[in-house]
Structure 1
Amino acid sequence: MTQTIFADWQPRYTSLFGRHTIKLQHRLAETGLFEDEALAELIDRADPADYHICTMGTDHRRRNWRAGDKGTRSGAEVIEAVRTGRIWINLQRVNATDARYGALLDRIFREIESNVPGLSTFRRSLGVLISSPNAQVYYHCDIPGQMLWQIRGRKRVYVYPAAEPFLNPADMEGVILGLTEEEVPYEPWYDDYAEIHDLEPGQMLHWALNGPHRVVNHDCLNVSVTTEHWTSEIRASYAMNYANGLLRRIGVRNPSRATSGPVFLAKAGLAAAVKYSGLMKKHRYARITDFLVDPAAPGGFVDVPR
């Protein structure tokens, strides 16, 4: 692929990036890195710590998110189970395990930074999502900057304001501290205030930092790419929320959300000291698997003891 990653970058995107939702055209499919054979190879090579396999219920109001494992199944068998079942696979940090995806990630951000003067990103990562027809991802928020790149299939993405009541600071602090996964409380009436985007192959969606969102696939297999990135501003927001979560646990109510000044610097020091001491590890949620992938089974999996 010799052309630019983005097919339609417009001057206004420079001002909107990182602050508002934007949808752009991209050319990632032209790399050939996201065909079934390449995806099966990624699954075969993936370290268990770097992939999640999940299934979910059909009703967003009654969440039923379960974690599983591929067991001895090959990558090709896993993809077949996704194609005919109700499974969601998240291959994380593939840029670190395959140089081709690392080169693509570098190219993506070189292009973005060239279009957004002053933007400097670090701790970037690229993941691949492979999900079944009609699968969904429940309402949640992410901590780093996010972009969702559609390669194959179609999905509907609901993006909500990154402010109360849609996102409570205490809930986001719980995600950052690792006390919960990415899910945060949801009410059906939130949809009245959502931006709704039908994401087509060749489209990329980027939204404001921490913006809560949920996803529902159309009736087709979906292959998507996620990219994450950090900036100095995102890191400051993370440190503030991490420290506020600690303070809230010892009874401090409504701690300041400032990301500059002497109080913030003290919080940043507290966050770093606790995070790197490992004191919070014993409080982290534990992901428990209770199914194995099976392309011949209904839903593409079989239950196993927790």
Structure 2
Amino acid sequence: MIHTRGLTRVFTVKKERVEAVRGIDLDVEAGQLVAFLGPNGAGKSTTLRMLTTLLPPTAGTATVAGRDVAGDPAGVRARIGYVGQRNSAGENFRVRDELVTQGRCYGLDGRQAGTRADELLDLLDLRPLAKRKPGTLSGGQRRRLDIALGLIHRPGLLFLDEPSTGLDPKSRAEIWQHILRLRETYGTTLFLTTHYLEEADSMAERVVIIDNGRIIADGTAEQLKNDLAGDHITITTATDQEARAAAELAGATAEGTTVRVRVPNAAAALPDYLRTLDGSGIKVTAAETTRPTLDDVFLTLTGRSLTDDDIPA
């Protein structure tokens, strides 16, 4: 569904050359749900804009849904759906009329557009809202309408840019239920950005992380966490001296009375570590194991947090 080689975008800012995206190679297979992550300024939005034909590449190639983004942008647009961060629907027409109008813009006749609108109203639980105007809907309801508008022409690939930003936890959970239902119903390929790392961790089957215009990690969330971050054992000792001794036994470092040890499998390693400490006369007052997060992966790779300055506009 997506195939890029050397995809590059350069801007000129105050007569200075700025490489926003630097030679990205990316392949996304049909039916995948891919989370594309990166802090502000990493090149995430620029890449998304190039893939959706909103911004021409400076160099490299990109084929999206079987069409070249530079040579056939109209062909790409006819085959993809795009849900941006802002609301897509207008304010003057009712919800169903918005969907029908969008369908007509994609070349459906009146009957086809109406049938497809009704199908999406049911799929996204919008049927009770069909006669209301978008301006009267809640944030979660409007996002469901945005997704319906992006699906009206049955695209095989749907781009979702921060689909749950600004929603309360209940609405976020509902949006994700509908997103996952799309895959079950249509087998839609989903390529999304999000700054909610727990969403990418639990929902996406593949995570791609971009930083400074380059892809620095690509795999399942579990693979990235296991290979690049690892589990942690955290223990607390009675004294600073005991903590330093406990850290030395594990090849770690201590902070006051706390020792944090990185291991491949914390649950399996903890009993042996505690036995070793007990045999060395080190008194442990507390112990816990933690699984890494995607932010830990990014921290390992770059030395900073993935969420640094990543506040949506």
* TM-score using structure 2 length: 0.27
**Which protein shows a greater Rg?**
2
Relative contact order higher in (CA < 8 Å, ≥ 6 apart): 1
